[in-house]
A = this chain, B = another copy of it.
Amino acid sequence: MFRSISSISFSGQLEDKIEAAARAGFDGIEVFREDIIGFDGPPEEIARFAEGEGIGIVSLQSLRDFEGFDGPARDAAFRRAARFLDLAKRIGAPMLIICANTDPQSNADRGQIAADLSDLAAMAAERGLRLGYEALASSAHVNTVADALDVVNRVDADNLGLVIGAVHLFAMETDPAVLAEIPPEKIFLVHLADAPTGRIDRALLAQSFRLFPGQGMMPVAALYTRLRAMGIEAPMSLEIFNDQIRSLPPSQIARDGMRAFHLVEEAHRQQSHTHSDLVAPAFIEFTGQGDEADDLAELLRAMGFARTHVAGKVELWRQGEAVIALNRMEEGLAHSIYLLQGLSVSGIGLQVDDLDQMDQRLGLFHGEDATLDGPSPYGLRVVRGPGGSVFYLAGGPIESAPGFARFEPTGEQPAGHVLRIDHCAQALQPNLFLSGLMFYRAVFNMRSEEARDVLDPHGTVHSRTLANDDGQVRLSLNSSFGAGTTTQRFLEKSGFAPWHHIAFACDDILACARALPPEDVLQVPPNYYEDLACRYDLDPALIAEMRDLNIFYDRDAGGEYFQLYTRTINGVFFEIVERRGYRGMGAVNAPVRMMAQLRVLEEQDALFLM
């Protein structure tokens, strides 16, 4: 499979784009005409530069509004087209992309359109070039693959073929079955891209909001599989225009693009192969020192956790299947995070069903090893995630970790209703959000839900949830442009490995809540319960009990959900949930939780200022 990317997907100068694509392992790059302007040398040097970087030039993009004109306009279109062909030749591109005419004034006559393309194909043949014809959703007359195929068939020239634009297919709601009618050799190129939602006007969908395959909600992987099954050998090229993605450095864009490729390729292979998956969270590691670490230990004990094992300065706190490692070491990776920002979640331990397969996967997706600058307490493989976060990969529960033998049992026994870790929530800077999403999609094969916006008292928090196949590992990613949101405030002081809360599942939320000292629980505004009584037909006695215990409530088609939040230690807090069939994460309650937390923060700020 020839993997390509379009230069439009990057910001910066053409040289940097070519270099980044080559280093990430792309076989080829399409060159946007506008990018040639900034190239630091004559166009002839572009191919040589690319060759030096070890990457091919796939095409020149794009001749537009060419076909279907009459008289002097037709003559001018052909003169322009000749210059485009010359330019393609000069930059060493073997193919020129032609976007079907978007000018509603152009002639719709299929015969004339074919005649124009036939003449152009002859001009291209003289120069040894191929033409790739792409129907855009916004094209005036040729806006479906079937239309474009009809034109290509009428012309019947060896050097004229189709460009399949994934987003244009989605925008036109084209049945992918139509692709089966295309002779594979007539597909010269495929433009792959994803989009966040189909609920956008087709012109807008085609123009903006593009995402790498896997970042959005479109069936790109299915399209890829269909094309591969047809046996097409044409280059596949990522063509993304997106403000948020362009704000990243070219190397990161290229890496995310390559991950997107591996993701669709893996989905394709999975039809016949088994794959590695996450099984469950193995443990959560906190880094902390002194009073702050003692404070965390006290809060864990209040929730029913017991310090069951100790190895040097690392303590394991356990309840049910939930394990918290409290790492008080004064060296190593976790301690570096402590030095940067104080008590923090310094790592997430994940159980993986097949460590060897996951290792291969990590290599494939360019997962980087985090180099420990000191002894690792668990003897587990370490992977760096988004925002500097750290993952420990284990083949089973923490007892199976090679370093576990060092831990001495204390004899203490947990006593509470916590069953397991339910989910973890991470905050990311807005420009890292999509890249972080791609990490979880590609590296851990997690699925994502459609984006959701949560109203924070001082802005909006953009949120996506991710889960493994059976929903045992759940994450939420959060980001916000507003400087005053709780998410952004947290990132300001804990921007490294920024996990802001860990949720535990329990089997009796009322018992959990009763066992907790009131000062350890986030106080819910009393009117929340007035509101709850409005929204749901709930037993007033239950509402009264939830009010007394500061418990949140939600409901979905699956069932009921109960939540409580603890106080916050250096920005990090816990959540205890009881799921009675409910499948979400209580997003409807997040604004109230943020408001309540903000009040605590503002009271602390006020105290600080007094």
By a beta-carbon cutoff of 8 Å, the part of chain A in contact with chain B is 11-13, 33-34, 36-40, 42-43, 76, 79-80, 83-84, 87, 197, 199-201, 203-204, 208, 243-244, 246-247, 430-431, 453, 455-460, 481-484, 525-528, 530-531, 533-537, 591-592, 595
Structural contact, A595 and B38, CB atoms closer than 8 A = yes
Specify which chain B residues have a CB less than 8 angstroms from the CB of A458 in the assembled complex: 11-12, 246-247
Structural contact, A247 and B592, CB atoms closer than 8 A = no
Provide the bound-state CA to CA distance between A42 and B531, in Å: 12
Provide the bound-state CA to CA distance between A453 and B481, in Å: 19
Provide the bound-state CA to CA distance between A43 and B534, in Å: 13
Specify which chain B residues have a CB less than 8 angstroms from the CB of A533 in the assembled complex: 83
Known: A36-B531, A37-B531. 12 other contacts (CB 8 A): A11-B456, A13-B595, A37-B525, A39-B527, A80-B537, A201-B201, A208-B453, A243-B453, A246-B455, A247-B460, A247-B483, A431-B482
Contact status of A246 and B531, CB under 8 A, knowing A11-B457, A200-B204, A458-B12? no
Which of A37, A43, A525 has the most CB atoms of chain B within a 10 A radius of its CB? A37
29 contacts between A and B (CB under 8 A): A11-B455, A11-B457, A11-B459, A11-B482, A12-B457, A12-B458, A13-B457, A33-B531, A34-B531, A36-B530, A37-B525, A38-B525, A38-B527, A38-B592, A38-B595, A43-B527, A84-B534, A87-B534, A197-B204, A199-B203, A200-B200, A200-B201, A201-B201, A243-B460, A243-B482, A246-B458, A246-B460, A247-B460, A247-B484
Residue on B nearest A64 in the bound complex, by CB: B535
Residue on B nearest A199 in the bound complex, by CB: B201
Which of A33, A243, A591 has the most CB atoms of chain B within a 10 A radius of its CB? A243
Copies per assembly? 2
Residue on B nearest A82 in the bound complex, by CB: B534
Specify which chain B residues have a CB less than 8 angstroms from the CB of A526 in the assembled complex: 42
Structural contact, B595 and A37, CB atoms closer than 8 A = yes
Specify which chain B residues have a CB less than 8 angstroms from the CB of A527 in the assembled complex: 36-39, 42-43
Residue on B nearest A483 in the bound complex, by CB: B247
Specify which chain B residues have a CB less than 8 angstroms from the CB of A201 in the assembled complex: 199-201
Specify which chain B residues have a CB less than 8 angstroms from the CB of A79 in the assembled complex: 537
Q: Closest 3 interchain pairs by CB?
A: A199-B201, A243-B460, A247-B482
Contact status of A430 and B530, CB under 8 A, knowing A37-B595, A199-B201? no
Specify which chain B residues have a CB less than 8 angstroms from the CB of A197 in the assembled complex: 204
Contact status of A243 and B481, CB under 8 A, knowing A525-B37, A595-B37? yes
Contact status of A530 and B13, CB under 8 A, knowing A201-B200, A247-B482, A525-B37? no
Structural contact, B33 and A247, CB atoms closer than 8 A = no
Specify which chain B residues have a CB less than 8 angstroms from the CB of A244 in the assembled complex: 481
Specify which chain B residues have a CB less than 8 angstroms from the CB of A43 in the assembled complex: 527, 530
Provide the bound-state CA to CA distance between A455 and B458, in Å: 30
Residue on B nearest A532 in the bound complex, by CB: B37
Structural contact, B459 and A243, CB atoms closer than 8 A = yes
Specify which chain B residues have a CB less than 8 angstroms from the CB of A80 in the assembled complex: 534-537
Structural contact, A481 and B430, CB atoms closer than 8 A = yes
Specify which chain B residues have a CB less than 8 angstroms from the CB of A40 in the assembled complex: 525
Specify which chain B residues have a CB less than 8 angstroms from the CB of A208 in the assembled complex: 453
Residue on B nearest A12 in the bound complex, by CB: B457
Provide the bound-state CA to CA distance between A247 and B460, in Å: 8
Structural contact, A37 and B200, CB atoms closer than 8 A = no
Provide the bound-state CA to CA distance between A37 and B594, in Å: 12
Provide the bound-state CA to CA distance between A80 and B536, in Å: 7
Specify which chain B residues have a CB less than 8 angstroms from the CB of A537 in the assembled complex: 76, 79-80
Choice from B246, B482, B591 contacting A482 with Cβ under 8 Å: B246
Specify which chain B residues have a CB less than 8 angstroms from the CB of A247 in the assembled complex: 458-460, 481-484
Choice from B83, B460, B481, B591 contacting A34 with Cβ under 8 Å: B591
Specify which chain B residues have a CB less than 8 angstroms from the CB of A455 in the assembled complex: 11, 34, 246
Specify which chain B residues have a CB less than 8 angstroms from the CB of A536 in the assembled complex: 80
Provide the bound-state CA to CA distance between A80 and B532, in Å: 10
Residue on B nearest A84 in the bound complex, by CB: B534
Specify which chain B residues have a CB less than 8 angstroms from the CB of A199 in the assembled complex: 201, 203-204
Residue on B nearest A63 in the bound complex, by CB: B534
CB distance from A90 to the nearest CB of B (A): 8
Specify which chain B residues have a CB less than 8 angstroms from the CB of A84 in the assembled complex: 534
Specify which chain B residues have a CB less than 8 angstroms from the CB of A459 in the assembled complex: 11, 243, 246-247
CB distance from A427 to the nearest CB of B (A): 17
Residue on B nearest A595 in the bound complex, by CB: B38
CB distance from A465 to the nearest CB of B (A): 19
Residue on B nearest A60 in the bound complex, by CB: B534
Specify which chain B residues have a CB less than 8 angstroms from the CB of A42 in the assembled complex: 526-527
Provide the bound-state CA to CA distance between A148 and B455, in Å: 30
Choice from B204, B243, B460, B592 contacting A37 with Cβ under 8 Å: B592
Provide the bound-state CA to CA distance between A278 and B40, in Å: 44
Which of A200, A201, A527 has the most CB atoms of chain B within a 10 A radius of its CB? A527
Provide the bound-state CA to CA distance between A594 and B83, in Å: 26
Specify which chain B residues have a CB less than 8 angstroms from the CB of A36 in the assembled complex: 527, 530-531
Provide the bound-state CA to CA distance between A481 and B243, in Å: 9
